[in-house]
Amino acid sequence: MVGGEKASEKHIAKLRHTYPYIKVINGYGPTENTTFSLTYTITNTKIDGPIPIGRPLNNRKAYIMDTQGSLLSINVPGEIYVGGAGLARGYLNCAELTAEKFVHNLFCEEAEARMYKTGDLGRWLSDGNIEYLGRIDDQVKIHGYRIEPGEIESVLQEYKGVRQAAVQAREDKSGNKQLVGYIVPEGVFTGTCL
């Protein structure tokens, strides 16, 4: 579960109410850091706000930073960076993307230490947990897959007869996300498919 999603809060609240004796943990972390970087144990049976994504696991690090790379204090939103044990070496055959996302960790004494720029927005809470606030870009996650709507828009705009395109992730009444594409045609729209 990604913290902050309303549908998940509702489901977790129902689970905690139905089975108050089980331990429920919200795990957060990108695949680039061996899946889980932070966890938060959900103890309340009544959930009335966003569920924190937690604190770093043993041998893991988490930072909230601004666009200049400065650490941010409690309640100030910024990008979540993760590091420590489990951090990948980079992306296979993608040196440019690796250099962009896996950066030197200035806050660690080890010379080779790096951290990963998640692209997620978060803030430290006063209790030492991090709250997930969304993305700093347009990336969306549907069924666990990362999707860049801008890439789909670019492909749609390559079609003859399409002047503009926009793609959004929309939720149905059940809270399930799906991609929806919109186009502005060049000239008269004939009603035919692309």
In contact, 103 and 111? CB cutoff 8 Å: no
In a domain, 190, yes or no: no
What distances in angstroms separate CA 11 from CA 1, 51, 58, 66, one per listed residue?
10, 12, 28, 33
User: Could you tell me how many helices (H) and strands (E) the chain has, helices first?
Assistant: 3, 12
User: Would you state the pLDDT for residue 139?
Assistant: 82
Position 2 scores a pLDDT of: 43
Q: Which residue has the tokens 């108050």?
A: 20
Q: For the domain that residue 154 is a member of, what is the CATH number?
A: 3.30.300.30
**20 and 95 together in one domain:** yes
Residue 194 inside a domain? The answer is no
Can you read off the two tokens belonging to residue 93? Answer: 């055959």
Domain that holds residue 11: 6-137
Task: Identify the three-state secondary structure at position 35.
Answer: coil
At residue 96, what are phi and psi to the nearest 5 degrees? Answer: -65, -45
Give the type of residue at 32.
Answer: E
In this prediction, residue 45 carries a pLDDT of 66
Domain count, the chain: 2
For the entire predicted model, the pTM comes to 0.76
Pair (162, 179) in one structural domain: yes
Question: Do 109 and 151 belong to one domain?
Answer: no
Any idea what the CATH number is for the domain that residue 85 is in? 2.30.38.10
pLDDT digits (tens, 9 = 90+) for 67-81: 999 999 999 999 999
The conformation of residue 97, written as its DSSP 8-state character, comes to H
* pLDDT, tens digit, 9 for 90 and up, residues 155-191: 988 888 888 999 988 888 887 888 999 989 888 776 6
Determine the pLDDT at residue 191.
61
Phi/psi zone of residue 90: left (φ > 0), alpha (ψ -120 to 50 degrees), beta? left
119: burial class by Cβ within 10 Å (0-12, 13-18, 19+)?
A: middle
Residue 115 and residue 34 share a domain: yes
Residues of the chain with pLDDT under 50: 1-7
DSSP class of 61: E
